[in-house]
Each structure stands twice: as C-alpha cells, then as structure tokens.
Structure 1
Amino acid sequence: MKIARLLGAAATAVMATGALTALAVPASGQDLLNPDIVPAMQRDLGLTHDQALARLKSEDVASKVTATLSAALGDALGGVTYNAASGKAHVTTTNATLVGKIREAGAEAEVVKFSARQLSSTVDTLNAADKAAPAAITGWGVDDTTNRVTLSVLQGQRAAADTFLTQSGVDKSSITILETASKPTTYANIRGGDAYYIGGSSRCSVGFSTTTGFLTAGHCAALTGGGSLTGSNGASLGSWGTYRFPGADYARVNTNSNWTPVGQMNNGTRVTGSSNAATGTSVCKAGSTTGWTCGTIGAKNQSVRYAEGTVNGMTATNVRSAAGDSGGGFIAGNSAQGILSGGNTSVTYFYPIGAALSATGTTLRLG
C-alpha cells in the first residue's frame, strides 16, 4: 500500500540541517551553523547551549518526517506542529485508522475535526470577502495548534468580527476569534540581513541571495515607487525585477557587477536550501535594524490586513523585529523559510520563500 510505504520511509528518514539567508556582498565563514545562532536561541528561547543544539537536531529530524507524512496523508492531514517538549513532530489527522501509522513514522498523532484542506478553503472564502471586512479585523489564517482558523480583531470589536463571519458564510465552528491590541504595519524603513537603500533614503534588508541578485520584500519596492538602489556602502546596487505588494510581498533585485551574491547571511550562516518548517519550530531572522533574533514559527496561511492592502499566505512568528528589517531572511537551521513582511508589537509575519522563488523565477544561491 502506497501510504504505508511512505509512512515507513518517514520513520527511518534523517534530515540534514538546512537553513538560509543571504547577502549581496562577499562573506566569510562556511560553518554549517554560525556561532551566532545558538546564543540567539539561548537569549530569545530561554535555552541552554546544549538545549539549543539538541533542539536544532530534533527539528531537522522532525521536519523530514513531517514532509513525508504530509504527502502521504493527503486529504486526511489535519496539520503539523513541532512539540518542543518531546522533540517530535505532532501530526494531526481526520482519519483515526492512520494514528498507528503516524506513530510508527516517528511522530505524535492526534485525531481532529478539520482537515488542512478544509481550513485552507475557509481561508480562501475569507480572502474572497476581504473588501467587505471591517477595518477592525487585522487578519485571519490557519492555526495548526488548535485545528482552527483564527481571526484577529482589535480589542472590543468582537461583534464586528462575528457579523463579518456570518456574512461570509463560513462554518463558525472552524473559527476562533482573537483580540489584538494593535494593527500590523509594514516594516518598510528599507542586509540575509544587510541594509540597502531606495532613492537614497528608505532602508530595507536583504533576504536571500539568488544566482542573479537577491530576494526582499515587495513593499520595499511598491511603497517607494521602485526607486534607485544603493548598497550599505553607497555603491549602485542594481535594478528591481519582478515585485508584488499587496496580495503578496516579494521582490527580486538584479545586482550589478559591483556585488557578488553569496549563499550566506551577514553573520556567516550558510544557506543550504529551503523548506517549510512546522509550526513550533525555532526560527531566526537577520535584519538591518534588530539584527539576529530568534523565536518560533506560528500559524500559517495568514491573511494580514495592512493599511496598504491585504497580503495572503503569510506565516506568523514571535520573532522580534522593527522598521528597516523589511525583506530580511528567516531561517530554520540552515534552511530558508521566508522574507520579513511586517507585524505589530506581538507578531512578525514572513512571506514563504517557496512562493517568492516561484513567483520571481529565481534560484537560491547556496553556501
């Protein structure tokens, strides 16, 4: 049986550490994990040195198991999270007969009501009703930890959220309404992590090097009229390629001969590939304002309502960031995860790297 073969393969799979980021300038240091990663995880996740190393190792294994199980379960997949306490992937399913197979593959198992495809369909319905949503609603998206779609609304405005849900026609039992203190904003004050400048004033951050330049946030281009680009040393950087914002938040920059894109972050961390790490996995970001900060991956497929328009398909994190970090790269281990878009005082969102690479027709520069 195909699903049994796939689940069996997951049980014996071992994942190489993977993570990423990029720079538009030459950098040194080829260590698989830059020394800055572990101290940042210690500081931001409250871990000891040995705990940080052990977590990175278990997350690598869990990610491999997760990828195989997600493909094997298909419509029966509920969602995937990383359980830091056990060091395992936590995989949910709508089919109770698959619990044993999931456990055999090396993951924790749980039976839930809604499938991942059902929840994604609910998000699609809300996305289609975006223009009718009141200003008090700040966004919505899938939360694998609760097997629900969460809808965020400003404090004291739950009634407005409930009315919107009724009008949209979604199954309210699949929705959790959460109140938030403030609206998300883009961090478009314009290095992975180096600074670059637009029009000689606005500052953003390099996300990931590609074979022809680098990827960054689309709003860094859209909100500045696609102005001229210079690097952190003042030299001409190159030109804008494809970019999009809102709807999505990605941009391609084609660098000129003044710059050599390398597969590293600005602290020397190598970029060895890309992945879609599970909710709960530790993740770090490099930005030109707050530097190297870490946290964990939160809910996915989030629709974030900025003043300039809604961006769909984003991932939430609790990683600290600020204006000027826009475009900076998020990595899990040595695998690229996404490009920093924006957030508020409690959450930072990134646009997934896979979608950005596909939309821009680019390939990561690996270190």
Structure 2
Amino acid sequence: MLRLRAIMASGAAAAALVVSSGAVSAHGTTGADSPAPGGRYPAQMVRALGDSLGISDASAARRLDSQARQQSVLATLRSSGVDPRGAFFDDGRLTVNVTDASTAREVEAAGLVARIARHSAGELDAVKEALDKAAKRELPTGVQGWGVDPVKNKVVVRVRDTATAADREFLNKAASYGAAVAVQDSEGKAVSMAGTVYPGSRMDYGNHYCSVGYGARDSSGRQVLVTAGHCVENLPDLYYDGSHFAKGTTTRFHHGRDSVDMGLASVDAGTTIAPQVGTWGNGGNIAVRGSRRAPVGSDVCKSGATSGWTCGSIKAYDYSVTYTDPGQPATLVTDLGLSDACDLGGDSGGPWISGNQGQGLTSGGLTDNRCNGVYGQGTSYFQPLDDALRYYGLSLNTA
C-alpha cells in the first residue's frame, strides 16, 4: 500500500527518536559539519557513500567530484540545445539520451556518454502528461504509480491490481502508446507520510507528527518552513520538543483531490530553521549550500523522525502516485521524485540532500518498506525542493 509519511502517536518510536538537547532542526543531531578529505564534502556523507559501495573514503569523494563535474558539463550542453531530461548516471558516467547522431557527437565531444534513444524526453513527457490527464478524469486506484524512466527510455507504469473499470481504462490508455510504455507488476501501495505515534516526536500537530524540512524566506524576508503539503493540509499549529514553533499557512495537498505535495508554515519570531540537515548519529550535521537538482542516478540521503538517516539513489522525477491512506479517499499526487532510499511513516516533510544540495521533502512510500540501517532499501517518494521554492517564490536558507 502507498502511504503518506506523517504519523499518529503510537509509542515506542517516539522514545527511540529522542536526540541530544540543543538540536535546532526538529530531527537533526548536534555537532558541527565535518568536511571530507580536502574539505569538499561532509565526512559522514563520504563515509556513508564509501560504505554502501565498498570503496574508500577517497574513492567516494572522487565519485562525488566526478558527478559534480559531469553535471556542470551537462549544464553547458543545455545552453546549446541538448535536452537534460533524459540524462542519468550509469556506473559513474553521466549518460544522455539523444535522438540523432549530430547531438550524440556533441555530447561525446564534451566528455559525456551519448545514447541514441528511440524516444525523446519530450515524447515521453507528453505520454506521461496524457496519463496524468486520464487519471484526473477517473482515478485508477489499482495503479501504484507511473513516470518517465530515462534508463529504460520508457514511461513505466506499476500496477498492483486491475479490479476497477478505471484501472483497466487507464491501462488501455497506457497500452495505446506502444513501446513508449512498459507496465510492471508491483506489490504494495503508495501512501503519503503522515504517521501515528505518541506526542513528543519531532514535529507534532494534533495527534500526528511529521519531520521538519527546509527553512526559507519569502520576498518580504519572512521566514517559512517548506514541508510536505499533507503535513499542513489543515493548516495546523506545529510543535518542536513541546514548544510551538510554526503554523501551516498554505498547501497544495488535499485528500481526494488531484494534488502536489508541497506546503508552507510561517515560523514564529525568535525561531530559526537551521540551514543544516541532521544525520541521526551518522556524523555531524550537513550544511546546506543550495538546491541544485541532482540527475537521476545520483546518490541521495534523507533525514526523518522515524527511520532516521537513510541513503539510496534517485530513480525518476515527475513521478505520479496514487496514495491510498486508511480512512481517506484515494489521492493522485504528481510531480514527485522516486528513490530507493527507505522511509517510514512520520518521515514526511523531512529533508533530502545530495552532497550539499537540498533535493526535496519526504512525501510517501510503500507500506511494506522495512528500513534496516542507513542502506535499507525501499520505495519512497519526495517532493522536489527546487519546484517548491520556485512555485512559492522563496529563497532557501543556506549555510
């Protein structure tokens, strides 16, 4: 089942999530940001990446350097007309899907890998948009999610059952696009991240909790919290460590309606949302330097009040999900990121980061996710941070 990652109070998790006093972020840890060898990256991120890949810290830092360098090259190519939407990392090399030999030569001359693809990024985006429109007409609750997979060069549709007429109509629509669409069986459902635990968890509202996200400021300089929209659906008062610190002011998420999972809360005077991401005992806090979007295949980590610090890779953007939360009408949520980093209920709204660039806010994941340490694998969804900042006209707080 797919579910949002906010939580109602249920007990043991709350006690286990208490961190040392003095943390500013609602689920951060204390401690200064610690750079990796050469000062390029936080040491704990380099160690985590090295451990997950079975390589040395130095090799992990070189891998991050390589990803950053290749992303800069791709940005340069974009100015000359190369479409970056079909780019993805494959075994450390940034590969760009192109549809003609001339563009392939340009990409390869710049030092990246070019792949002649059957479908352009624009074509696949159009197919995905058509499926979104079909879902908005009648929600296919048996369809878990769908989005463009640049590695497969297809729109991938994941199905849990075909019990309703809407499910079958949606799949017939998907099949009409032929080789541009792949349909896969899938277990479980996607659900947004509002969970249930005892009061006293990291960011409480009523008898639910989420996780503190990123701080930003609006055009007037007012401080706001950028969070998952479902965490502030009813514009609640928000509490950190028992004290009021913010109040929901706007959201684009509404159960039973087509939604985007982003929202804002006004931050109380005298309260600061630190420009750092807590790692839950996996090293010091990570300083946030910006919000540049990382390509598909990039390494990414997230911090959440329930599962703590978990890492994986980005699998897709512009992903659509049908959330089926217990006691709520099914909800279509679009424009999400897809990852195999593990998340759990109560992680909603928490920050995602790649290197020192903020990537997003936890939205939801499969109900059968079983996070087992930093590298426990799962299926999770996040609201891209850059989209939220752009939509609300905000400037991210950076270190």
TM over 0.5: yes
1:315 maps to what in 2? 337
1:144 maps to which of 135, 144, 150? 150
Q: 1:50 to 1:77 in 2, by over 3 A?
A: closer
Q: 1:70 to 1:170 in 2, by over 3 A?
A: farther
2:286 maps to what in 1? 269
Paired residues for 1:219-230 under 5 Å: 219-222=230-233, 225-230=234-239
1:49 aligns with 2:57: yes
Paired residues for 1:47-126 under 5 Å: 47-74=55-82, 79-83=86-90, 85=91, 87-126=92-131
Matches of 1:315 and 1:119 in 2, distance apart? 16
Q: Report the Cα offset of residue 82 of structure 1.
A: 1.0
Q: TM-score, normalised by structure 2?
A: 0.77
| Deviations, residues 84-131 of structure 1 (Å, cap 9, x unaligned) | x2x321111012111111011121011111111111111110010104
SS of the equivalent of 1:297 reads: strand
Q: 1:145 to 1:167 in 2, by over 3 A?
A: closer
- Percent identical pairs in the alignment equals 30
Q: TM-score, normalised by structure 1?
A: 0.84
Matches of 2:30 and 2:58 in 1, distance apart? 27
Matches of 2:393 and 2:336 in 1, distance apart? 19
Is the 1:143–1:299 contact (alpha carbons within 8 Å) kept by the matching residues of 2? yes
Paired residues for 1:121-270 under 5 Å: 121-130=126-135, 131-154=137-160, 163-167=169-173, 170-189=176-195, 195-199=202-206, 201-211=207-217, 212-222=223-233, 225-231=234-240, 233-246=241-254, 247-267=259-279, 268-270=285-287
2:383 maps to what in 1? 351
Q: Report the Cα offset of residue 31 of structure 1.
A: 4.1
**279-288 or 307-316, which moves further after superposition?**
307-316
Matches of 1:77 and 1:216 in 2, distance apart? 27
Total equivalences in the alignment: 336
CA RMSD of aligned residues (A): 2.6
Q: 1:116 to 1:123 in 2, by over 3 A?
A: same
2:220 maps to what in 1? none
| Deviations, residues 255-292 of structure 1 (Å, cap 9, x unaligned) | 11241222111242111011121111101111111111
Segments of 5+ residues of structure 1 without an aligned counterpart are: 1-21
**350-359 or 126-135, which moves further after superposition?**
126-135
Matches of 2:229 and 2:54 in 1, distance apart? 33
Matches of 1:60 and 1:115 in 2, distance apart? 24
Q: 1:364 to 1:114 in 2, by over 3 A?
A: same
Q: 1:89 to 1:214 in 2, by over 3 A?
A: same
Segments of 5+ residues of structure 2 without an aligned counterpart are: 1-23, 36-40, 218-222, 280-284, 325-329, 370-377
2:25 maps to what in 1? 23
1:288 is aligned with what amino acid?
Answer: A
1:91 is aligned with what amino acid?
Answer: V
1:16 maps to what in 2? none
Matches of 2:87 and 2:298 in 1, distance apart? 10
Matches of 1:94 and 1:78 in 2, distance apart? 13
Matches of 1:177 and 1:169 in 2, distance apart? 8
2:122 is aligned with what amino acid?
Answer: R
1:148 is aligned with what amino acid?
Answer: K
Is the 2:97–2:115 contact (alpha carbons within 8 Å) kept by the matching residues of 1? yes
Q: 1:134 to 1:252 in 2, by over 3 A?
A: closer
Q: 1:128 to 1:204 in 2, by over 3 A?
A: same
2:19 maps to what in 1? none
